[in-house]
Structure 1
């Protein structure tokens, strides 16, 4: 069993995890999804149709092939397109403020919102959003805010077929629905990386899928 003994950072992650969980459980229109070993919620109609359309237009304007923090040698691992949404656009500020208000996490702990587009056949194979601490990139992540805690993902459109977000270890599969927000904790109840948070963006079979993702860090993002 995981513990937090001797690890102040894990103790903080445990506290913020429990605090956000209880906050979201009390939020109207937010439902906790039954899941094995994972705290995960859906907030229905979190964005309006107009807000989704505005963000989609910005993703289409700036999208480029998606990258990976660390290459694994599989060219088919992540085949989507993505972009960092600019806070000079009022709609992005409005969306970010709504996400921050839902989680209650200090805004400075949040990374820049990333927009993503999946055409037919494109996917993001199973991965974790938390940082693996035995990697070359870990020291850089430590200096820029430390471990990722919560992930907020918003579906910007309905998808004709495919494109579900799948958590194979937690036994959860979520179909994209325009305006719905998906929120989950990448840490377990002890503030340690939670392997039940493994998830994938399944291949789109028909249509195009648009989402945005915002990650939160244990410390202010971009600072030591």
Structure 2
């Protein structure tokens, strides 16, 4: 240590001041100049700034990690060898696009035209205004952010539903019984679902009741049954991605904790012309009852 460094001790008050300046938006250069003007030598000032800010960022990161829920296992398609196709048992499904963070996979040839038509026909007589899970109560509610019509099949309710559920389980390597019932949704012109998360917010009072049925949601698969003429894409605002609602295709995404850090904020853009039909499959941590 030099004589100058020995005289100019970096005190807790100085570290606090450096952090305050950084959080107030002052540039590193302006903070350095202020320290030099106060009599600090450049080498001591630079070292103090670097050590203080590095420690501050590490502390913030540790606090953030502690505040987040612990990660859990999630469904994962077999993508380690970058395949063009995945064997889903009764069908070769195309891998059209992948994103690693968040984990998003766009699948092609997931459903046949006949399967799309069958699901729409079975759903039509049972359509009603779509509800969302009410995490404040554990029940369901009409949500102004979601302006579609929809219905739920019971798991395994119909032959085409059973076939699709078996295909999905093999495709994403997740137990069939961990899936919620298949939901069919119809979006007419102007209908949309504003950006949202599919996991259940841990701080809401109704969440413990919801989790009793199978734990937290850990993945979503949106399958396109009917194409609109314009609009209706699935958007992921955090990463500026939009997936086109191509009939027979699907978009899968997983989230290993109930936290925005998963970057799984997503929504259904307004349908501008025509009609969009989708099937949604939510996957839980455990068997869904």
TM-score w.r.t. length of structure 2: 0.67
| Equivalent residue, structure 1, for 2:103 | 39
Per-residue CA deviations over 1:94-130 (Å, capped at 9, x if unaligned) read 1111111101101111111111000111111111001
Residues 134 and 21 (structure 1), Cα distance of their counterparts in 2 relative to 1, 3 Å cut: farther
Q: Which position in structure 1 is the counterpart of 2:279? A: 212
In structure 1, distance between residues paired with 2:142 and 2:119: 30
Which fold has the larger relative contact order, with Cα–Cα distance below 8 Å and residues 6 or more apart in sequence?
1
Residues 182 and 281 of structure 2 are in contact (CA less than 8 Å); yes or no, is this contact kept in structure 1? yes
Q: Which moved more, 1:49-58 or 1:80-89?
A: 80-89
Cα pair distance change 1:144/1:71, threshold 3 Å: closer
Question: Which of these residues, 268, 271, 275, is aligned with residue 201 of structure 1?
Answer: 268
- 1:141 Cα deviation (Å)? 2.0
Paired residues, number: 213
> Where has structure 1 moved over 2 Å in runs of 4 or more?
1-5, 19-27, 31-35, 70-76, 191-195
Any idea what SS the aligned residue of 2:238 has? coil
In 1, the alpha carbon distance for the partners of 2:219 and 2:274 equals: 29
Of the three residues 89, 102, 115, the one matched with 1:51 is: 115
CA contact (8 A) 2:129 2:150 kept: yes
CA distance 1:80–1:71, shift in 2 (3 Å): farther
Verify: 1:105 aligned to 2:163, yes or no. Answer: no
Kindly state the Cα deviation for residue 32 of structure 1 after the two structures are TM-superposed: 3.6
The normalised TM-score by structure 1 is 0.84
- Quick check: which one's helix share is greater? 2
Match of 1:166 among 216, 235, 243: 235
| Aligned counterparts of 1:179 and 1:68: Cα–Cα separation in 2 | 25
> What's 2:209 paired with?
140
Q: CA deviation at 1:20?
A: 4.0
Distance 1:158 1:53, change over 3 A: same
1:70 lines up with 2:70 in the alignment: no
1:44–1:4 distance in 2 versus 1, CA, 3 Å = farther
Please state if 1:84 is matched with 2:136.
no
Query: 5+ residue gaps in structure 2?
Result: 1-60, 86-93
